[in-house]
Amino acid sequence: MGRTREAGCVAAGVVIGAGACYCVYRLTWGRDESEKIWDDDEEDDEEEASDIVEAGVETGKGTNTNAGVGAGARLQGESKVKAEVGLELQSGSDVKAEAHVGAQSGGGLEAKAKALFSTLKEQASAKAGRGARLGTISGNRTLAPSLPCPGVRGGGCHPTRSGARAGGRASGKTKGKTRGKSTRTPATAWPVRRGKFNFPYKIDDILGASDLQKVLNILERSNDPFIQEIALVTLGNNAAYSFNQNAIRELGGLPIIAKLIKTKDPIIREKAYNALNNLSVNAENQGKIKTYISQVCDDTMICRLDSAVQMAGLRLLTNMTVTNHYQHLLSYSFPDFFALLFLGNYFTKIQIMKLIINFTENPAMTRELVSCKVPSELISLFNKEWDREILLNILTLFENINDNIKSEGLASSKKEFSRSSLFFLFKESGVCVKKIKALANHNDLVVKVKVLKVLTKL
């Protein structure tokens, strides 16, 4: 009977050991990857990280015998990775009985059971330790370099995680889904503005000469786009006042501002154009700004169509051509102006027509103006579908050119002009006259009066 009892105890120990090994496999190697949730919220400035590995060993005797083995370690980093290794075994009623009998058998069998559980505990602890180390490595974070942020003027860079996500379990195997870096595409377009510098003034402060000198010094010495932008906006706002227009010129501010129109950053170029535009209202300032007018014109023609930089450049050119003194500096760009008039959007069309009208008011520029090549599609601007402002501007342009052709006696020298010239389109083709006559019945009274005025001069 003693041998039978000893054999039963051995069988019970084997069953318990096999069950413990199966639980180790199921709870450490066989867990589904999908049970972990990766919280990838990029808008949080900080993330808490903890790697939790818990282990426990519970054994019991009597009618409810539980055998469990667990091992764990808890680590806290900046990213949260949890790895849990737990073992739990609950035997059936038959095994309970045999285990109970075996527990009473004495030291030999008890020593074997303790040795078995000790071995399982060491194996689980080693696997849990590897899982904790994986969690620590995958939790490292670095700051990405400055990236483009479209459509904004300020902001910071987003954090990115260095290293791949710990997709494997304690065994080192990678299983299931692995989520990588965010695939969001930033809107953007130029270096992110970092506002760590405390600018001494608000952008709408009205400054005196000493304060303007400080702003100019900051602008001259700084290479930070954020500081340059604030300084240019501050100077541009102050240049709206006539007393500061003189002060900025006398302090040597015009070359400092104009230097920044060569930068590749479109935001800085736009702010520099705006500041020069306000300063160009002053006649003495125009004499200084004329040095840069050709560069401004070239940049305005080649930059992105309908962009803020292009609009700022066109406004500056319009101000510089209000008088006749510097118009000749831009005569080489007439074909580009008319091409932009056809290609641009509504606001670009309005601004470029104001610029061309400035040239049409100077009879000395008529020959160069009407001899340039223009797209034939320009005739579409006389359609009644356009609103009042477009129609009034194009009618004014036609009226001025027609008057200048008569006053300069160019009608008799029509052989000098090609069929693709503005002269042929407005004067010889007769298409413009037909389009203008069709506008005589326009619903807008102001447009109708303008049409009748133009027709009486034909």
Q: Which two tokens stand for residue 419?
A: 């069929």
Q: Provide the pLDDT for residue 130.
A: 46
Distance CA 279, CA 25 (A): 78
**Of residues 354 and 127, more confidently modeled:** 354
Distance of alpha carbon 180 from the chain centroid: 21
Q: Is the pLDDT of residue 144 over 60?
A: no
Distance CA 369, CA 285 (A): 27
Distance CA 335, CA 76 (A): 67
Q: Which two tokens stand for residue 281?
A: 């209202």
Q: How confident is the model at residue 282 (pLDDT cuts 50, 70, 90)?
A: very high
Strands (E), 305-443: none
DSSP 183: -
Q: Provide the pLDDT for residue 155.
A: 35
Mean pLDDT rounded to a whole number for the chain: 73
Q: Is the pLDDT of residue 110 over 50?
A: yes
Rounded mean pLDDT of 92-116? 49
Report the phi/psi class of residue 172: left, alpha or beta, with left for phi > 0 and alpha for psi in -120 to 50.
left
Q: If you search the block for the tokens 């005797």, which residue do you land on?
A: 61
| Lowest-pLDDT choice from 37-46, 137-146, 449-458 | 137-146
What is the DSSP track for 78-147?
A: SS-EE---B--EE--HHHHHHHHHHHTS-HHHHHHHHHHHHHHHHHHHHHHHHHHHHHHHHT-EEEPPP-
67 φ/ψ angles, rounded to the nearest 5 degrees: -120, 125
Distances (CA, A) of 70 to 59, 67, 75, 167, 170: 12, 10, 17, 21, 13
* Burial class of residue 439 in the structure, from the number of CB atoms within 10 Å of its CB (0-12 exposed, 13-18 middle, 19+ buried): buried
Distance CA 285, CA 313 (A): 17
Taking residue 152's Cβ as centre, other Cβ atoms within 10 Å add up to: 14
Q: Provide the pLDDT for residue 120.
A: 63
| Lowest-pLDDT choice from 35-44, 47-56, 328-337, 407-416 | 47-56
Using DSSP bridges, classify how beta strands 49-52 and 81-82 pair: parallel, antiparallel or unpaired: parallel
CA dihedral sign of residues 109, 115, 118, 119: negative
Q: Provide the pLDDT for residue 152.
A: 34
Three-class SS state of 421: strand
Distance CA 246, CA 279 (A): 9
| Lowest-pLDDT choice from 12-26, 69-83, 423-437 | 69-83
Q: How confident is the model at residue 24 (pLDDT cuts 50, 70, 90)?
A: low
Rounded mean pLDDT of 187-211? 68
Of the candidates 138, 134, 179, which has an alpha carbon nearest to the alpha carbon of residue 41? 179
Q: Is the pLDDT of residue 72 over 70?
A: no
Of the candidates 80, 75, 85, 101, which has an alpha carbon nearest to the alpha carbon of residue 13? 101
50 φ/ψ angles, rounded to the nearest 5 degrees: -150, 135
- What pTM did the predictor assign? 0.59
Question: Percentage of residues in the chain with pLDDT exceeding 70?
Answer: 61
Asked whether 299 and 261 are in contact (CB, 8 A), the reply is yes
Q: Is the pLDDT of residue 393 over 60?
A: yes
DSSP 74: E
Of the candidates 199, 201, 203, 189, which has an alpha carbon nearest to the alpha carbon of residue 155? 189
- Write the CB contacts of 300 (distance below 8 Å, at least 6 apart in sequence): 309, 310, 313, 314, 317
Q: Provide the pLDDT for residue 9.
A: 73
Helices 445-456 & 431-438 angle (0-180, nearest 10):
140
Q: Provide the pLDDT for residue 143.
A: 30
Q: Provide the pLDDT for residue 448.
A: 94
Q: Provide the pLDDT for residue 28.
A: 61
Strands (E), 284-348: none
Q: 161 forms bridges with which residues in the sheet?
A: 141
**Of residues 230 and 107, more confidently modeled:** 230
